[in-house]
Amino acid sequence: MLGVPLLVATLLAGACGDGGGNDGGGASTTSTPAAGPTAATPSASPSRGGPVTIPTSAFVDLPPELRKAAAQPTDAADALPELCDKEFRSGGRSVTASAAMMSTYKQPKDPPENVPYGTLHQTVFAFEGTGAADYLRRVRGAVADCRSLQASGGTVTVASRPMAGTGDEALLVTVSRPATGLDGSPAQGRSTSQILVIRVVDAVTVVHDQGWEGTSIDAGLADDIARAAVRGLDSWQR
C-alpha cells in the first residue's frame, strides 16, 4: 500500500514558523505519481536547513486484512485534527519537512463490496534538535487543557493517555462526540474517534483515525495502527 520506495524531496527555503504556527500545510508543492497502480507520493512542505526527504515507506502500511484502498497524498493542514484549538500544528522552526497521506481501511472479515470501515489521515513531521520531543510535550499539555468543547449537536469530550512501549514516546487521544446519521442529522448514542501521536527519533507522526461517514471506530484497532505507524517511522529513522 505505502511501501513504495519513492522519496519526497523537501525544498528547504526558509521556515514559515513563529514558534507556533507552521503546520507544514501552506506550501505549494507538486506530487509526482509513482509507477504502478497503487503508488502515491505525499506532498512535502518547505522549511529551512539542508535537503530532507520523507519516503512513502514512512507512512502506515496496514496489514493486508485491513487494507481497503491505496493511500493518496493530501495537505497537512487538512489532515491534522483540531479540537479546542490547533493542538496538533507543528509550530516552530525546528520542522525540516512535513507530508500527509489519507487512506481507508476495513475490518478483517468485511466483504470487498462493503464501504470502508474507517479513514486514516496521517501527517509526518521531521524535526531537528529537540524539536520532536518538544512537539510531544506541547501536544500533551494542549490536549490536557482541552477536556471538552462545544460543537454542533452537543458536547465533545477529549481524553488522553500515554501509549507505553510505542515508539520512543506516544500519546493516544480519544474523542467522543454526539452521533450523527449519514445525512448529518442527530442520531442516538455517541461516535468515537482516535488520534495517535508517535515519536521515533527525530520524526513524529499524527494519525487521525475516524469511522466512515461519522460512525464510531473500533478502539481495538489502535494497537494495530500504532504498530504500523512505528514500523514506518522505524524504517526511515533507524
Among 4-8, 106-110, 146-150, 234-238, whose mean pLDDT is lowest? 4-8
Per-residue CA distances from 195 to 92, 192, 219 (Å)? 21, 10, 11
Is residue 1 one of the residues assigned to a domain?
no
* Number of separate domains in the chain: 1
pLDDT of residue 221: 87
- In this prediction the pTM is 0.81
More confident residue, 29 or 233: 233
Is residue 227 one of the residues assigned to a domain?
yes
Summarised one tens digit per residue, pLDDT across range 145-162 is 999 999 877 899 999 999
pLDDT of residue 213: 86
Instruction: Give dist(CA 3, CA 132) in Å, integer.
Output: 24
Q: Which of 6, 95, 21, 4 is nearest to 52 (CA)?
A: 95
pLDDT of residue 142: 96
pLDDT of residue 83: 95
Residue ranges making up the domain that contains 80: 7-237
pLDDT of residue 50: 59
HEC assignment per residue over 13-69: CCCCCCCCCCCCCCCCCCCCCCCCCCCCCCEECCCCCCCEEEEHHHCCCCCHHHEEE
pLDDT of residue 22: 46
Among 88-92, 131-135, 175-179, 197-201, whose mean pLDDT is lowest? 88-92
Contact 162, 171 (CB under 8 A): yes
Is residue 2 one of the residues assigned to a domain?
no
Burial label, 164 (beta-carbon count in 10 A; 0-12, 13-18, 19+): exposed
Burial 14-28 (b: 16+ CB within 10 A, else e): ebbbeeeebbbbebe
| Local confidence band at 122 (pLDDT 50, 70, 90 cut-offs) | very high
Is residue 78 one of the residues assigned to a domain?
yes
Summarised one tens digit per residue, pLDDT across range 35-93 is 322 334 554 544 445 578 899 999 999 889 999 998 999 999 899 999 999 999 987 78
Summarised one tens digit per residue, pLDDT across range 10-44 is 333 233 333 344 444 333 233 333 332 233 455 45
Q: How many other C-beta atoms can be found within 10 angstroms of the C-beta atom of residue 211?
A: 18
- The enclosing domain of 90 has a CATH number of 3.40.1000
Is residue 82 one of the residues assigned to a domain?
yes
Summarised one tens digit per residue, pLDDT across range 180-217 is 776 767 788 899 999 999 999 999 999 999 999 888 99
| 91: alpha, beta or left? (left if phi > 0; alpha if psi -120 to 50) | left
